[in-house]
Structure 1
C-alpha cells in the first residue's frame, strides 16, 4: 500500500493534481492528511478535507474540482471556520445546521431515539449509533500511523495517539493530575466530590454515573447482552467484551515504561509496576 502525505495545503493540492495524471484506478494508494488523523483513498475527498482545514489554495491548484465539489467544500469550510448560526439555549455550543442543534438538545433532555437492533443501548445521535454498531460488526476503519492498531471510532484513534505524544489535555482543577481522556478526569473528580447520585433499587449500592448503575443492575438480572463473535461467552458490559476480545486478538496495549513487557489489561500493568516500585498492596491506607 502506498501512502501520499499532504504537507503544506496549497502545495499538497498542486502535488495531488500532478499525481492524478499518473494514478490508475486499480492502484492501492492512500492520501493522508498531516494536520490530523484523516486518510482516504478518494482524491477528491482529501482535497475537500484539506480545504476544510482553511486554505482556499487547494481549490485554486486542484484541476479536477468541479463547481458542485467547490460548493460542497465551501459548505464544509464553513463548519471548520466557526460560521455557526444555530445556538443552543442550554449550553455554549453553536451549530451550522438545525439538525445538529436538535441532536445537541437531545443530550440535554436525555432523549435517545436511535436504538441498537442487536443490544439494549440507545443514543441521542445517529452518528453515535453508527459508531456503536462497529462493536457488533467488527469494522475498524481508523488506523494508527505509528503502530498496527486499528479502531472503530476516530475519537478512539485520537485518544490512542496520545499514548505516542504523551498529551494529557484534561487537567484536574483541584490537584496536579492530568489525563488523556475526558472520562478519566470525570472518574477522578469523583475522588474529590464523593458524589454518588444513582442508587440501586435492589441493594444498598450507589454510583457516580448512571452507566455504572446500568451495568450493576445486570448483576441482579443476569443479563449479558454483549456476545463474543469467536466463542460462546457473553458479558454484561461492552468494556468486559473488549477486554475478552484481546484474548483472541493477542493485543497488549498496556506497555511498561521500564521494561519490555506489555499487558492486555491495565490492571495487570498496575500489578506489574509494583515489581519496579517495590509497593506492597495492603500495607498502606488510602486517604482522600
Structure 2
C-alpha cells in the first residue's frame, strides 16, 4: 500500500476561490483540515515538509488556530495574490518574497528560509534517503521526489503544455520544456555571461571556469566535468556499445552517434551551409565544412606550429612527432599511425579491391589508385613541369621527370 502524504489530502484555495465560499463552507473546510491533521498524525505521518502541527501541538497554539479560523478571510499575501487558511502558513510563504534566511547548515554554511528546508538539505550530507519506492526499491531524500518517481511506473503525466499538448510527470519538466519553445535562458553565468535554460547546465558550465573535473577514470586517470562524460569515456576501455542500429545492426557507444548514423539510411541532412547550400547529417560536419570557406585552422601543433582545421587531423599529425603507431595488423604485425592506412594495408592480405572503374571495370585496392587510373580515360594530366611545361597524370611521374 502506498504511503499517504499531506499533499494527497490537502486542499488549497486561491484568494478568489476562498472569497466565493460562504461562512458554513469555510467552517466545514477548517473542520475537515483539523480532522485530517489528527488522522494523519494518528497513522504516524511525519510532518517534515508541512509544519501544520505548529497550530495544534499545544492548547495555546490550538487557541491561535481557532482565532484564525474565526476570521471571514484567510491570511492573504498581496504580493502574489495567494491566500492561506492559516496565519503561520502565510508567514512561511511571505519568507519567499522577503528572501529572509535564518537557518544555517553547520556543515557547509548554506542558509535556508525555513527549518524544514534545512532539515531536508542536511540529508545531502548524511546521504539519508527515507522514502523508498515499493515497486523498484529506489530511495529518495524527499517525499515529493518519490511521488514524481512513482509516475515512471504508473505513466501518469499530469502537467501538459498548453501550446503543443506534450505532457510531463513533473511541473519542473514542463517548465524546462516551455523554455525550448520560448528560448528563455534565465540562468546566467556571472563570469562570462553565458545563459542557460536549466540551472543544472549552468552548474556544470561553471566548472569550466574553475577547472574542476571531479569525475576521474580509475583506469587511465583522465578526469571529466560531468559524470555522464566519465560513463561514456569508460566505454573506450570496455568496448561497450549499447546503442544498436535496427536497420544494419551497427553499434555505437553514444546515442547521439546512433542518431547521426541513422541519417545514412534515411538520407536526412538537416544541417545546411548558408554559403554554398551543401547539407550535412551532423552539426559537427557542418562546422568542419564551414572552415573550407573561412580557411580557419584552430588546431595548432605545439611542436612545429602547423595548424589544422580538425582536431582529429592534429591528433594524427602529432604521431609524426611521437612516432606512435596504434593501429597494428593482426596478420603480419605491421603498425600504422592512421586507421585508414591499416585498412588499406589489410587489402594486401585479403586481395580485396573495392574500387572499380565505371569505364573499363578494372578494380583497385585504394581509391587514390582508381582516381589516377581514370585519367587514362579522361586524358587529364594535372601535374605540370614548371621548367618545360610537360604534364603528367601522376605526381610521381613529374618528380622523376624533374
TM score, norm. by length of structure 2 = 0.39
Paired residue for 1:200? Answer: 273
Paired residue for 1:171? Answer: 244
Q: Is the 8 A contact 1:215 1:236 kept in 2?
A: yes
2:180 to 97, 107, 111: 107
Q: Is the 8 A contact 2:300 2:314 kept in 1?
A: no
- Gapped runs of 5+ residues in structure 2? 1-106, 108-121, 357-402
Q: Does 1:94 align with 2:168?
A: yes
1:125 to 198, 205, 214: 198
* Structure 1 residue 139 displacement after superposition: 2.2
* Structure 1 residue 191 displacement after superposition: 1.2
1:284 to 354, 358, 374: 354
Paired residue for 1:47? Answer: 127
- Gapped runs of 5+ residues in structure 1? 1-24, 26-41, 60-69, 262-266
Q: Is the 8 A contact 2:299 2:314 kept in 1?
A: no
Name the larger-Rg structure. Answer: 2
RMSD value, Cα: 5.6
Whole-Å Cα distance in 2 between the matches of residues 273 and 156 of structure 1? 30
CA shift in 2, pair 1:209/1:276, >3 Å: closer
Paired residue for 1:213? Answer: 286
Query: How many matched pairs?
Result: 222
Whole-Å Cα distance in 1 between the matches of residues 256 and 190 of structure 2? 26
* Structure 1 residue 162 displacement after superposition: 3.1
Q: Is the 8 A contact 2:158 2:167 kept in 1?
A: no
CA shift in 2, pair 1:112/1:205, >3 Å: farther
Which structure has more RCO (C-alpha within 8 Å, separation ≥ 6)?
Answer: 1
Q: Does 1:154 align with 2:154?
A: no
Whole-Å Cα distance in 2 between the matches of residues 81 and 255 of structure 1? 49
Paired residue for 2:143? Answer: 74
**SS across alignment from 1:195:** coil
Whole-Å Cα distance in 2 between the matches of residues 107 and 279 of structure 1? 53
Q: Is the 8 A contact 2:329 2:342 kept in 1?
A: no
Whole-Å Cα distance in 2 between the matches of residues 141 and 208 of structure 1? 33
